[in-house]
Structure 1
Amino acid sequence: MKARRRGAGMLLGLSSALTLSFLGASPASASSATWSLEAQGQVKCVPGGYSFTWIEAPVSGSWSTDVKVGIRNLPGQGSQELGGSTIAPGTNEPGPDGELKVNGYVFMSLGSAPLGDYTAEIYATDGTHTETDTLTLAYRESC
């Protein structure tokens, strides 16, 4: 009797796993991220001309694989990302004072562009889940 129940249980488990895989889901799916990019729409002043600078790209929550942060859609001729943090698996929650530890940074060089405001995109990805936030680059005569 026990062998029959165990066999039925295994068959039920196998059929459930196959059904979930055909539906594109899995138990404990990686697509339900437990982390968030907390870049909060930063504004960075860029004094006329070429500039090397960095921005914060903190990630909150918990994650079990590396989270890579970066930036795209930079304005200006010759602008480029120089490198972003790879945040090792772990957790990052606000402290008792409500402050969140900054655990991600992105470094960039910004080429010259006409004075004005430009929008770049900060991103964080674990390879499965990606989140974005905006960065306003305010090109000014001086900051």
Structure 2
Amino acid sequence: MNRASWLALVVAVGAISGCASTEVVDVPLQATPENAQHIARATLSPAGTQTSIMLNVGGVPHDLALPSRLDTAIYAGSCQHLAAQPAYTTQQANSVDYPSMAPRTKLWAQAPVALSELSKGDYALLVRTSPADGSRAIFCGDIKAG
């Protein structure tokens, strides 16, 4: 294969790969006063007509029941101006780590809305403790594509 043919092949593969890429949205989560000095991040990815949410949580309040359970919901607006009710509730975030009070915990949830819809609107992801722990808001992040 000569140099021109090789270069054409590389360009074609790159173009095809670019078209086939999956959109992923990274959402830095800010701790609320209820959970000060802790960090978290969410990665949203498409799952057909739904959105998969993978949370990396760097800490939760120390007074949570064990194992700790967190709930997520997507609200219209921003973290500074959340709507009164969630636009989309998610399946409960389940820990994929054990024990749940490890320094870093990964959790998974699924929202009943396409990521393409979330990416073009003004939405925020809110993470709360479970109802057993008072449903306290502990992290929030604005969902922004790109």
What TM-score do the two structures reach when normalised by structure 2?
A: 0.42
Higher helix share: 2
Q: Which has the larger radius of gyration?
A: 1
